[in-house]
Structure 1
Amino acid sequence: MTRQPLRLAILEAERVLSAAGVVSPRTDAELLAAHLLGVERTKLMMVPLVDPPVVQALHELVRRRAAREPLQHITGTASIGNVTLNVGPGVFVPRPETELLLAWGLATLEGVDRPIVVDLCTGSGALALAVANARPDAAVHAVEKDPTALSWARRNADQQAQAGDTPVRLYSGDITDPMLFMELEGLVDLVLCNPPYVPEGTPVPPEVRDHDPYDAVFAGRDGLDVVRHVVACAARLLKPGGGVAIEHDDTHGGSVPALLRARRVLTDVEEHTDLAGRPRFATARRTRPEA
């Protein structure tokens, strides 16, 4: 059995993925190879030759990715912060741009001892678990209404707890419920949310259209059906000086900050862009009482 150069197998994978319209064919080809071999992507150069069955197995993974099955469904994982999550059918796959929202949230917690954090529309548990990992002293609460997504979040939370991270408190609930987290009203230091926000009818890539849950992506004609409830919930939960960060569609650079400014108890409203310079999330603070 003649061993074959891994480099050539990756080049062929890149060609196939590029022809299929995959946005980052080289990156995906290398990540699939690394997943198959059980090594980090940066260590692929240390595996110059592979057996033919490995090449065949890589071809099968590439075939699935070329059919626009999400990379994360093939590998079974997605990452945010220092946390690796289990993901698959029935749960929204976290995107890299959400890292910026996470970074803002963690920055607002600097100097806050034993903060209380709430993650609305938690999905896989991504933001909640990333915060719990970065801030072991935090009390992190997360809510999700979809039972399938919540099962993924519980699986991820159990895995992180076994790894020694601070347990996250998961709840089944709907953020349209005005009684949600009533016991935390006025006590929360940070509210984070990556809600459904794509306007209905917006063209989306096959990975999203065919694999992400519809209700985790789309939110009414203007994409703001869920965001409006998130703003109301955050205004109710935050303590004076507490912060809220809400991810949104790149068409919402004006509308989401306007929703935040419409709440008299919220101030310091800011819009933030992603790495491509597109509007991506908005933040605000709960007003402090006048001295």
Structure 2
Amino acid sequence: MTPPAPRPAAASVRSALSEAARILADAGVPAPDVDAELLLAHVRGESRGGVQAAVIRGDALAPEHAAAFEALVERRAARVPLQHITGVAHFRHLDLAVGPGVFVPRPETEMVAQLAIDALRADPSPEPVAVDLGTGSGAIALALATEVPHARVHAVEKSPDAHAWTLRNAERIGAENLRIVLGDLADALSELDGTVAVVASNPPYVPDDAIPRDPEVRLHDPAAALYGGPDGLDVVRVLSRTAARLLRPGGVLVIEHGEWQGAPIRDLLTADGWRGAATHPDLTMRDRATTAIRA
């Protein structure tokens, strides 16, 4: 009788990661090694550090994990956003649920949130009020609510799809000092006029003819969260008016924008009567946010 053929040896975690990183690099994924580790961590239900420890130990990859990992790598190589595959976007200390219909928060927005948090913490009121206009997944609003727990935070989102993600994240994270409103930022929260300490926003600011280079952004982020008119500043103009209505004198406005937009936004805000307009770089030294003070 012919003996059964030997079973093929299970792939090691190291070799599976190496092959995945090669496939992702060939597809143009910006950080193939990192994404490979995060995808395998998702499949195995552990942290990225757990995957790195498995490499050091020389662990084998379970066959069921190998098949699932291969499928996820194929999706990522097609430039489906990593966060859509894992369902999670990491933002400061938060793990946010994201997916189709909502803008995926980026690491550079963390410093925008920090500017707003610093201004909110500096406010002398026992219960300062903050507003996040166009909250999307709720990233900035939830950072404010959880890191400044004595504040009252209001988040406004126009898109029903994105609003649903905001509600989901607020429920998961449990910020009782956060109120979420479905509505247009142009006329939202009139009951708060003149009482707000900080208004923050990451508005759509990409000019209409400046198509994003990365397929993850171009094909998967909602167009309404990206494009801001011919010069990218249509929503910023509305923000200036809305924030001036909401903020009390001395209140702070924080707006995220593209690296080339600091000067025109400072000019816009100054012309609208704001004081002390200043642009701030992110960790890569690209201009990322502009702040101004309500006169």
Displacement of 1:261 after TM fit? 1.3
What is the distance in 2 between the residues matched to 1:8 and 1:72? 24
Contact 1:157 1:167 in 2 (8 A): no
Contact 1:73 1:87 in 2 (8 A): yes
User: Runs of 5+ in structure 1 lacking a partner?
Assistant: none
Contact 1:122 1:193 in 2 (8 A): yes
Among candidates 202, 205, 218, match of residue 197 of structure 1: 205
Matched, 1:146 2:159: yes
Contact 1:160 1:167 in 2 (8 A): no
Displacement of 1:81 after TM fit? 2.0
Among candidates 155, 173, 185, match of residue 175 of structure 1: 185
Structure-2 residue corresponding to 1:238 = 247
Displacement of 1:111 after TM fit? 4.0
What is the distance in 2 between the residues matched to 1:257 and 1:10? 46
Structure-1 residue corresponding to 2:259 = 250
SS in 2 for 1:270: strand
Q: Please list, as runs of the form range in 1=range in 2, the aligned pairs for 1:83-162 lying within 5 A after superposition.
A: 83-112=94-123, 113-161=126-174
Rg larger for = 2
What is the distance in 2 between the residues matched to 1:158 and 1:45? 32
TM-score (norm 1): 0.93
Among candidates 12, 28, 42, match of residue 35 of structure 2: 28
Among candidates 45, 65, 77, match of residue 54 of structure 1: 65
User: Runs of 5+ in structure 2 lacking a partner?
Assistant: 1-6
Displacement of 1:3 after TM fit? 3.4
What is the distance in 2 between the residues matched to 1:219 and 1:34? 37
Contact 2:120 2:130 in 1 (8 A): no
TM-score (norm 2): 0.91
What is the distance in 1 between the residues matched to 2:110 and 2:170? 19
| Matched residues, number | 281
- Alignment root-mean-square deviation, CA: 1.4
Displacement of 1:6 after TM fit? 0.6
SS in 2 for 1:54: helix
Contact 2:121 2:148 in 1 (8 A): no
What is the distance in 2 between the residues matched to 1:68 and 1:247? 25
What is the distance in 2 between the residues matched to 1:126 and 1:111? 21
